[in-house]
Amino acid sequence: MTQFLQQLINGLSLGSIFAVLALGLAMVYGTLGILNFAYGELIAITGYTMYFATQAGLSFWLSALIGAVAAAVASILMQLLVFRPLQGTGFVTLLFASFALSQVLQGIFRQAISPRAKGIPAPEVLSNVFEFGGLRISVLNVVTFVVAMVSLGLFALFMRTSRSGLQMRAAALDLTTTRLQGVSAGRVILLAFALSGILAGIAGVLWISRTGTVTPTTGATPILVAFVAVVLGGLGSTVGAVVGGFVFGILEVFLEAYLPSGVVPFQFAFALIAVAVVLFARPEGLFGKAVEVKV
Amino acid sequence: MGEQLVTSSFSTASTVVADQPVIAVTSLTVRYGAVTALREVSLEVGRGEIVGVLGPNGAGKSTLMRTIAGVHKPVTGQVLLEGRPVVGGAPEKAARAGLRLVPEGRRIFGPLTVEENLRIGSMSRGSTLKDDLEAAYDRFPILGERRSQSAGTLSGGEQQQLAIARALMAHPTVILYDEPSLGLAPRIVDQIFELIAHLRDEGVTSVLVEQNARLALDLSDRAYVLGSGSITASGKSSDLAKIDLAQLYLGKGAQR
């Protein structure tokens, strides 16, 4: 039982990062109908910004803040410089453009910075562990969970109560009809990229705090995780993305804990198989609505 | 005004049009890939008029409305709204210039509440939202009762009311109604058409697209008949009403 609770806590912590990650990816999909595969590079940008900021002598916390802002700025630039010029060219073109952007950014990290991992030492306090009824809970796990939940809460509040949030919810349902009400598509899409970038930045800080390093391919796992969580939750559903993130995070932790040690290295593959089984039963995902083709 | 209408709404129309038409469409051609949806369509809508656009399924009526609203980019020709060109592919601009499309199938935001739907309708305006909401609920009491319900739970007639109420939130100068009678019970259709007439009396210029030609000719001052992307007839609605419908749709009796 203690073992189970211990894993549940670890799973909730990891799952909360996945939830923020997936929500950021789902934001852009919801309004623009594209999967931004360069989303993972926003995590790397957060990491490199944190690396350079800490190298410059800034505190970890300030570096984290700057790192998150950098991801938001980078996300906005992706829209302005890459996706906006390609507007109206169709789903496949935008998808391939996002793949290309991802590769170009990884190339830049490799050539301009270094192909090797750069360390970002997290403060000692984060690795402290306190014991509670036989459970070992790290400060990092608690901080991660709290930061993620507060972010998700603020995001929900923004979407539900603000004028811009209402515009974005409407745009995600039916962009043309929303524009026919006088809502500027350019503004809504830019706002979606900004929010997507902020969420990527927050998830990025939590991710980098966990890994402690950044490499040119740091974004590979986060984008895969976010993509799986979004598909699991149901494409186009922000609630689904968050739930999908939690489910996938908890699943991964439990597989790591309970699989026979010989196959633990393949836990990620097992998690993906489990997701495939869910999607076989519910092709539209946990919260998705019946098949909806977005063009 | 009433007097003039009795003598000839055609001349009324032309005097108003001479003033400046609210909508002026000149030789509009719209293509979807290789398919030409509209071919050299021209029409004018004067201030305070109700102009009908009739025609069979697939004649291009919805394409015409959506092009006037700025959704589609025409290959040739242009749409002038209050004398200013409508930018094809930027419907938000026409919306801000005071035009509203009540789209075919109503296109309300089903998962959002009735009130949220209305709020989105007023996005092109600053604030003054509260009075507008009260006015909408006065006009459509059923929407007031269901303001916190999700719009998707409304009946077809209620959804049509919501679509019109949403358009009115913007205080538009012109409303394009695309098939407002579609799928509604006759009693509800009468209510909707009374409302359209009433709104015209309040000064809203209206374009009414209908497959149900009789209904549209009863309500409108003038009408255009579209057949496979071109205008095949036009004139005073009372004159067009005398012509056999099949003939109208086949393009006979054209008065151009």
For B75-86, the pLDDT digits (tens) are 999 999 999 999
Helix-then-strand count for chain A, H and E: 12, 4
Average pLDDT, chain B: 87
Name beta bridge partners: A214: A118
Per CB-CB distance under 8 Å, the chain A contacts of B124 are 181-183
Q: Which sign, positive or negative, has the C-alpha torsion A75, A80, A82, A85?
A: positive
Kindly report, residue by residue over B9-65, the tens digit of the pLDDT.
344 444 444 578 999 999 999 999 889 999 999 999 999 999 999 998 889 999 999
Place of tokens 């006088």: A182
Contact residues for A256 (Cβ-Cβ < 8 A; gap 6+): A264, A267
- Shortest distance, CA B92 to any CA of chain A (angstroms): 4
Q: What is the pLDDT of residue A291?
A: 53
Distance from CA of B207 to the nearest CA of A (A): 16
Bridge partners of residue B236, in order along the sequence: B222
Angle at B60 between CA B54 and CA B66, to 5 degrees: 100
To test the contact with chain A by mutation, choose from B96, B123, B168, B178 the residue with the greatest count of A C-beta atoms within 10 A, namely B123
Q: Does A181 touch chain B (CB under 8 A)?
A: yes
Write out the residues of chain B at the interface with chain A, using a CB-CB cutoff of 8 A. 69, 71, 89-92, 95-96, 100-101, 103, 107, 109-112, 116, 119-121, 123-124, 166, 170
Q: CB–CB of A180 and B109 under 8 A?
A: no
Nearest to B92 among A166, A173, A179 (CB): A179
Nearest to A149, CA basis, from A189, A191, A110, A202: A202
Residue B170 and residue A183: Cβ atoms within 8 Å? no
pLDDT at A275: 86
Cβ separation B103–A178 shorter than 8 A: no
Residues from chain A contacting residue B162 (CB–CB below 8 Å): none
pTM (2 decimals)?
0.87
Backbone angles phi, psi at A68, to 5 degrees: -65, -40
In A, which residues are within 8 Å of B120 by CB distance? 166-167, 170, 178, 181, 183
Q: Using CB atoms within 10 A of its CB, is residue B129 exposed (0-12), middle (13-18) or buried (19+)? A: middle
Region for residue B105 given its phi and psi (left: phi exceeds 0; alpha: psi -120 to 50; beta: otherwise): left
ipTM score assigned to the predicted complex: 0.87
Domains of chain A by start residue, with CATH: 2-281 (1.10.3470)
Q: Does A210 touch chain B (CB under 8 A)?
A: no
Percent of chain B with pLDDT over 90: 73
Chain B nearest-CA distance from A290, in A, is: 15
The A residues from 20 to 39 touching B (CB cutoff 8 Å) are: none
Task: Residue window 134-173, chain A: list those with CB within 8 Å of chain B.
Answer: 163, 166-167, 169-170, 173
Which DSSP string corresponds to A218-253?
Answer: TTHHHHHHHHHHHHHH-TT-HHHHHHHHHHHHHHHH
For A210, left (φ over 0), alpha (ψ -120 to 50), or beta? alpha
Using an 8 Å CB-CB cutoff, list chain B residues near A183. 92, 120, 123-124
Cα B102 to Cα A41, A130, B99, B107, B147: the distances in Å are 42, 61, 10, 8, 20
Cα of B109 vs its chain's centroid, Å = 19
Report in angstroms the alpha-carbon separations of A267 from A15, A270, B114, B240: 15, 5, 47, 74
Provide the 10 A C-beta neighbour count for residue A245: 32
- In chain B, what residues touch A185 (CB-CB under 8 Å)? 92
For each of the domains in chain B, give its residue range(s) and CATH number, in order of start: 2-250 (3.40.50.300)
Which residue ranges of chain B lie beneath pLDDT 50?
Answer: 1-17, 252-256
- What is the pLDDT tens value at each position of chain A, 295 positions in all? 888 999 999 999 999 999 999 999 999 998 888 889 999 999 999 999 999 999 999 999 999 999 999 999 999 999 999 999 998 888 899 999 999 999 999 999 999 999 999 999 999 899 899 988 888 999 999 999 999 999 999 999 999 999 999 999 999 999 999 999 999 999 999 999 999 999 999 999 999 999 999 999 999 999 999 999 999 998 878 999 999 999 999 999 999 888 888 888 888 888 889 889 988 888 888 887 755 454 4
Q: What are phi and psi of B237, to 5 degrees?
A: -60, -40
Q: Which of A2, A105, A109, A123 has the alpha carbon at shortest distance from A52? A: A109
* Residue A42 C-beta-side C-alpha neighbours within 13 Å: 37
B214/B54 Cα distance (integer angstroms): 10
Write down the pLDDT at residue B207. 97
- The minimum CA-CA distance between B46 and chain A, rounded to whole Å, is 22
Q: Taking CB atoms and an 8 Å limit, are B109 and A173 in contact across chains?
A: yes
Contact (Cβ atoms closer than 8 angstroms) between residue A244 and residue A286: yes
Residue A288 pLDDT: 78
Note the Cα B160 to chain centre separation in Å.
13
Of the candidates A88, A174, A176, the beta carbon closest to that of B71 is on A176
CA triple B69-B70-B71, angle to 5 deg:
100
